[in-house]
Copies of this chain bind each other. A is one copy, B any other.
Amino acid sequence: MQLGVLGLGRMGRIVVDRTLAAGHDVVAFDLDDDAVAAADDAGATPVDSVAELAAELGDEKRIWLMVPAGEPVDAALADLEPRLDGDDIVVDGGNSHFEDSVRRAEETDAAYLDCGTSGGPAGAELGFSLMVGGPQWAYDELSPVFDAVATGPEGHDRMGPAGSGHYVKMVHNGVEYALMQTYGEGFELLANGRYDLDLESVARTWNNGAVIRSWLLELCEEAFREEGTDADELGDVADHVAGGSTGTWTVQEALEQEVPVPLIYQSLAERFGSRAPESGRFSRRLANRLRYGFGRHEVAREE
């Protein structure tokens, strides 16, 4: 099979390499010439423009978009659209909002597959987990590529119609936030608890046979190993958690569906809290002051 890949960043490049390794042909394009040259070196056919990409792919184009969510996806689709018809298939492998994917699927003449992609750069070796939404025939047609990019046939499935792939990926990320925060709470208690523990040893012991073993816990173990070995085993890692868009979408959707997700919400709130203004959290400042109001307790003040 011949696959066009549009977007050759870290994730796009993994798609290229795994597709090539499975014996398929890849036509590669990116706005960054160096990225195109590197894909060329890896065995892909380099092209200089979207027009050339489309020309190279001929009829029945199969195109994988791996560009940042939002505007870049719409921009790529605008370039592609005049060259697409109903025999073509476009995959969006990024973190798009599912409602954007539904809209794009309706707007394009091609069959549109929204493909939630999880696994991060580690997927280069292991393969990704792919959650795909869109027409069944298009999913079936691209299965050889999905087999290659995912961990194998078990690592991808069609979730349902347009938008369902990114919908499931959105919820995946909400769960991811809360799993991370949960491990964090456990280790925070251990780090501040009654015993002087080696957190790397704790994580390793848990990762071998314990109920809570997981890939994220392996990453905890790795973090403790790489960041330090003293009581505070995270070295200079700051209390500042970036990101949050997919978790926010998850909570927004849970509000719409009236489904309680307090753990996912709280893990998102912790991120917001980690990015509070320098003066701190206003709510707690007010609680501090109110204790004076009714009890004449001393007010802690900034120096």
Contacts and interface: CB of A to CB of B under 8 A. Distances in A.
B286 A129 contact: no
Contacts of A174: 185-186, 189
12 contacts: A98-B194, A129-B210, A181-B263, A187-B282, A189-B259, A192-B277, A193-B253, A211-B215, A212-B214, A241-B300, A260-B269, A267-B287
Does more than half of chain A's interface fall in helix, strand or loop, or is it mixed?
helix
Contacts of A187: 282-283, 286
A195 interface: yes
Interface residues of A, number: 139
Query: In the complex this chain forms, how many copies of it are found?
Result: 4
Contacts of A184: 281-287
A253 B186 CA distance: 11
A255 B234 CA distance: 23
Leading 7 A-B pairs by shortest Cβ distance: A239-B280, A184-B283, A214-B214, A219-B293, A129-B210, A260-B269, A155-B208
A163 B207 CA distance: 21
Given A202-B131, A206-B129, A208-B151, A261 B257 contact: no
Given A159-B197, A182-B263, A263-B266, 6 more contacts: A126-B209, A129-B208, A167-B193, A240-B284, A260-B269, A270-B287
Interface stretch (A55-63, A73-81, A114-122): A114-122
Interface of A: 10, 98, 118-123, 126-131, 133, 150-152, 154-157, 159-161, 163-164, 167-168, 171-172, 174-198, 201-202, 204-217, 219-220, 222-223, 227, 232, 234, 236-244, 248, 250-255, 257-277, 279-291, 293-302
